[in-house]
Structures are given as C-alpha cells and as structure tokens.
Structure 1
Amino acid sequence: MVKAAAPPDDERALLLLGLLHAQDRHGYELHDFIENNFHRIIELKKATAYQLLDRLEQHQLVHSRLEQHGQRPSRKVYSLTPAGRSAFQHLLTRSLAQDDPLYAPGNIALMFMDHLPPLALLIALRARLKELNDRLARQQHPPDHPHNAGVTLAHARAAVLTRADRDWLAKAIIQLEAAHPPP
C-alpha cells in the first residue's frame, strides 16, 4: 500500500494559505502578488506555486472553481476551505514559535573556498559584496503595507539580515586581504 503524501507544510504553503485567507484569488493573481510584494522575502516560482496549490487542493485545504469573465478564457480561482483555515492557523502558530536555523546561501561555497587561488577568491567575494550592497539599496524602499504590520516587519527583517551578511562579508574580505596581501 502506498502511503499518501502529507499536505505541504512549509513557508510556501503558509504564504499561499495566508493569501487565500484574505480573499479568493486565481493562480496568476497569486503569483503576481507574490512577485510584486514578497520577492525580497521568499522565492516562489510560478510552477511551484501551482504544484503547491494542486497539493493543497488534493488535501482539501483549498478548493478551486473555474470562472469566466466575458470573452476571456476561464481561469481557476482558489479559495480556502475550513480545513485550510485550520491548517493556516496551525502553520502560522508553529512557524512563529519555531527556531529554524538560518541556512544562508553561500555557506557551502565558503566551506570550499580554499580550493580557489586567493586572488580569484577575493574577486568572487568582492562581487558578492557588490551584489549585497545593490540589494540593500533596493531594500531602502520596500513596498508600502500600512494595514499589515507583519509584512512591514518581514521586509525590515530581510533588510537587517542582508546588512548583517554584508557587514560580515566586508570584514571577511579585510581578513583575507591581510592574510594574502597582493604581491
């Protein structure tokens, strides 16, 4: 007997359930909203969002219906079921209370940095530092969400973590430059 897969219960599922908690939405609208408002907080590709919505529907956490507007093609509109509202509350509470480790992108590459010549390493790290500075410049003006303190806090947290990463990297570059002065 094949065991049924558990319902999605990660941050991506929490995001979709949360957006549907506010109102029914069609798939493109969900993806567009995420891209325009939360791209600094979470990466969720369109195909992944649709797969998650399908899995959430299989577990009866969301329901979909086809809607037709004028001559436009019909589109699938998703809504939260009572079980989905309960799952959202459970995931939200668990996610806020849980201490997840930070798996910062780039940590694996740092573990193997000794395999690069010092000059190549410093060039790569300086390029990363520039990208972090560019991202921080873009984060200076996050989207305005006056009626949702949580969204504002999430954007502020992303900026603080990016600044901390940038500051750590700048110090690491100084240490590596001191250990490997140019000839």
Structure 2
Amino acid sequence: MERDLVLLGVLRQGAMHGYRIAEIVEQELGQAVELKRSTTYYLLERLAKEGYLRRNRVTAGKRPARWVYELTENGTKRFFDLLRQNLEAPGPIHFLGDAGLAFVDALDRSEAAALLERRLAALQEDLEAMRPTKPAAGPRDLLSTHKVSFLEEEIAWIESVIRRLEMESRARPSKPRLAS
C-alpha cells in the first residue's frame, strides 16, 4: 500500500514516463520507501490495470517509444484514501538487526558488545551524513528529521545495550559454547 501511495503521489506532479518516476522515487523519496526500478515498473502496470493510472505510448524524435503514466480520477481518489490511511494508522514495526538480538546469548557478552560497537559506529556515520547542511523545505524535511530522530534514538539504545552487555561480561565469566 505504501509503495502505491508513493507512486500515485509522484504522479500528482503530472504525467511522466516510468524512468522519471523511478528516478524521483530513488532520489527524493528513498528515505520513505525502498522501491527497486523493476518493482516500480511492475507496480505502475498493476496500477494501470486497476484503473488508477492511464498509460499512453509516446514517441519523441528518434528515441524509442515509451509509456507515459498519468493519474485517473480513480487514481486521485485512491491516493487520498491511501494517504489518510497511512497518516492515521501505524504499521507493524520491524527493525533490521533484531533477528540477531534475539540470539545474542549465543555469543560471549564481550564479543556481542564489540560487534554492536561496530554497528554503533555505522549508525553514527549514517547520522552525520543525514544531518543537512541546510534544512529541506516542506514534506522532504519531515522525512529527514524523522530519520535523524530515529537514528539518534537507535544510537542511544545501542549504547545502553553495549553497557548492559559489558556489565554482564564483567559480572559472569563466559561459558564455553558448543559451536562457533
């Protein structure tokens, strides 16, 4: 649903070909949604079949013909329905890396802490790269500030987990593991 929202939202700017749509998604909305080009084209086709988009074959000069997509009236209605649903209700929360945390007991506490230190360094690099030199305007600023806030909280949480693992490592000696 979120990917449909993004594609319909991009097409509110006007009719455009699939390559341009994919480019806008990657460059401007990559923080909001992960969408590969092949998936973008597949979804555009599906949205057209469902009647949310109109598709026209356009030839420009000597270039090969390309499909140009534009919103239909139903597509505009669908966009606003999806937008309202998205803003109103939170989706399920899944964090990348949580699967490893579920099995952290399989490692020595000191090893787990060292691995999380590396993760922490990568998160700190991401945070520094995200901090804008000048604030973006409008909704794009919301995407940036949301990700910065998330990274700051994630960094603080990882730091607390590392401290906990280090304290546990000092409190009890490591147990031999069956496999490594």
The TM-score range, normalised by the shorter chain, is 0.7 to 0.9
Q: Which residue of 2 aligns with 1:155?
A: 144
Q: Which residue of 1 aligns with 2:154?
A: 165
**Aligned partners of 1:41 and 1:158 also within 8 Å:** no
Match of 2:45 among 38, 50, 54: 54
Where does structure 2 lack aligned partners over 5 or more consecutive residues? 175-180
**What is the CA RMSD across the aligned residues, in angstroms?**
2.0
| Cα distance in 1 for residues equivalent to 2:136 and 2:89 | 25
Quick one: which amino acid aligns to residue 59 of structure 2?
Answer: Q
| Cα distance in 1 for residues equivalent to 2:10 and 2:140 | 12
Deviation at 1:119, TM superposition (A): 3.7
1:124 aligns with 2:115: yes
Q: Which residue of 1 aligns with 2:64?
A: 73
TM-score, length of structure 2 as denominator length: 0.87
Q: Which residue of 1 aligns with 2:89?
A: 98
Match of 1:42 among 33, 49, 59: 33
Q: Percent identity?
A: 29
Q: Size of the alignment, in residue pairs?
A: 172
Q: 1:97 to 1:128 in 2, by over 3 A?
A: same
Runs of 4+ in structure 1 off by over 6 angstroms are: none
**Aligned partners of 2:113 and 2:165 also within 8 Å:** yes
| Cα distance in 2 for residues equivalent to 1:24 and 1:116 | 54
Q: Which residue of 2 aligns with 1:83?
A: 74
Q: Which residue of 1 aligns with 2:99?
A: 108
**Aligned partners of 2:51 and 2:74 also within 8 Å:** yes
Q: Which residue of 2 aligns with 1:14?
A: 5
Quick one: which amino acid aligns to residue 104 of structure 1?
Answer: F
